[in-house]
Amino acid sequence: MGTFLIVNAGSSSVKFQVFTSGSSGELVRKIKGQMDGIGTRPRLRASGPDINSTVDREYERDGVPNVPVALQTAGAWLRDELGIHPTAVGHRVVHGGPDFDRPVVIDAQILDKLERYASLAPLHQPHNLAAIRAILARSPHLPQVACFDTAFHRSHSAIADRYAIPERFYAEGVRRYGFHGLSYEYVASRLIDVAPEIASKRVIVAHLGSGASMCALASGRSIESTMGFTALDGLPMGTRPGQLDPGVVLYLIGEKGMSAAAVQDLCYRECGLKALSGISNDVRELETSTDPRAELALEYFCHRVALYSGMLAAALEGADAFVFTAGIAENSAGVRARIVAKLAWLGAVLDPPANAAHAPMISRRDSRLALYVVPTDEELMIARHTLALLSSSGTPSRVVETTR
């Protein structure tokens, strides 16, 4: 039996979950929590199946200034108050570059390779790796597994994988990777149970959250994605622009005199729904606002989802189903209704009562395009990979002290 700590580290929050595995290999979720407000208003919240595994604590601003200290604080709570000592840690790592097409057990050499991709995912990669380094420094013998958001898309064809630029850049790793792969992999696995009639068919999946992308699945495999070299491409997001003419970047640098760092900050933090609305990057706020700019932002977002649906349908040579997943798609019946209305040309017909009730299937019986809502679970996917990799590699499963 093993105990796995699953970590998803960001710039101002560390999400974590704890799973145990039994002798038959089943995974049981024991704890789900996060430390957010790192460096500003730190707060540890977590819940589990019993009262002892529930916590909601606030800390002084300087008490949790960064990701390593956040991990240390959460780890101390798990160890000292719950008696949990992980046998391994699984991490979400956003960018695996061209070298990693599957999960790997991390060592110093692999960690150094992953540092190369920090500039390609600046909102995520540095913080993903900071968490790994923090645990490695304090518990060097504790196995850690990196699970990549890009890995699921490495099945793309050469045509889907490339940009029309000189070959030397492709050889260096400038190619269309795709992201949110752990989410798409989980959804593909769930369709086998929740919708077996379409699991092996042509499926468009829309992962719509603060970060947003779409993926074309054929027989459960990714064949095309809206994201490319970085997590900036494709759909507009909370603070990212999505598809952007490269000429805009050249204009900002050449004509406006902006530095590359300033353009990067603009594209990752000041665009998307935040820029369009001038109000917020949170869809919940936009849906309750009477400001016409909020309506513009929502309509723009849904319009782009519909446009990319056409692209992915072309890649699949048709579409049998459309799946909504992730925060916005799972919780906003209004956004789903807007998008489905724009997919009528694909044969989509919404069942409004089912949509309002957030039912698993939200299409009417006469809809040629089946419509589903499938909640994602990236942490469970990471736990599965961690268990499978350590079991197959023969890595010893042993209890090691977590961070102090």
Residues belonging to the active site: 149
DSSP code at position 80: I
For residue 79, give the nearest of 129, 150, 24, 135 by alpha carbon: 135
Give the other-Cβ count within 10 Å of 168's Cβ.
8
> Residue 15 pairs with which residues in a beta bridge?
8, 34
Q: In the Cβ-directed half-sphere of 192, how many Cα atoms lie within 13 Å?
A: 7
Range list of β-strands (E), 262-399 = 321-325, 370-373
DSSP code at position 11: S
The answer to whether residues 348 and 313 touch, using CB atoms and an 8 Å cutoff, is no
For 82, residues 6+ apart whose C-beta sits below 8 A from its C-beta are: 31, 52, 53
The answer to whether residues 226 and 234 touch, using CB atoms and an 8 Å cutoff, is yes
